[in-house]
Amino acid sequence: MNKFWMITLGIVAGIIVLSNLGAMMGLAVSGLILYMGVHFYLKSISTAAKIWWGFVGAVGVLSAISNVPALIGVAAAAGLWWIYRNWNERPIIAAKTNDPFMNFERQWDKLTK
């Protein structure tokens, strides 16, 4: 993929990430609430505490479901990471073969250095 398309995709993905930043933070808070609900539900002993932490976990699940558009932002952030990693990648050159002309070119390059 050439640099022009990487820049274009990077700009579009950056705009998508910035536009979904609030939903992504809401999804993170929802995940934290859900984690706390499950964690304390498993540690609680009394029935009242189990009901309370089950309710907290249900609120976290409902809140996470309402933040589903944040997944688009997460996918765009993953795209930005992919573009960042592949920015300076060199094209894959064919594997070394037993072609005598290719061997000659490689050895000539070594000799002229």
Ordered by start, the domain boundaries in the chain are: 3-112
pLDDT tens by residue, 26-38: 999 999 999 999 9
User: Is pTM, for the whole model, over 0.85?
Assistant: no
Please list the helix, strand and coil fractions of the chain in percent, rounded to the nearest 5, in that order. 80, 0, 20
pLDDT band at 13 (very low <50, low <70, confident <90, very high): very high
Residue whose pair of structure tokens reads 């609030």 in the numeric block: 22
Cα–Cα distance, 59 to 31 (Å, whole number): 10
The answer for residues whose C-beta is within 8 angstroms of residue 46's C-beta and 6 or more apart is none
Average pLDDT over all residues of the chain: 87
Six-digit token string for 104: 């000659």
The predicted pLDDT at position 32 comes to 95
Six-digit token string for 22: 């609030």
pLDDT tens by residue, 65-88: 998 889 999 999 999 999 988 887
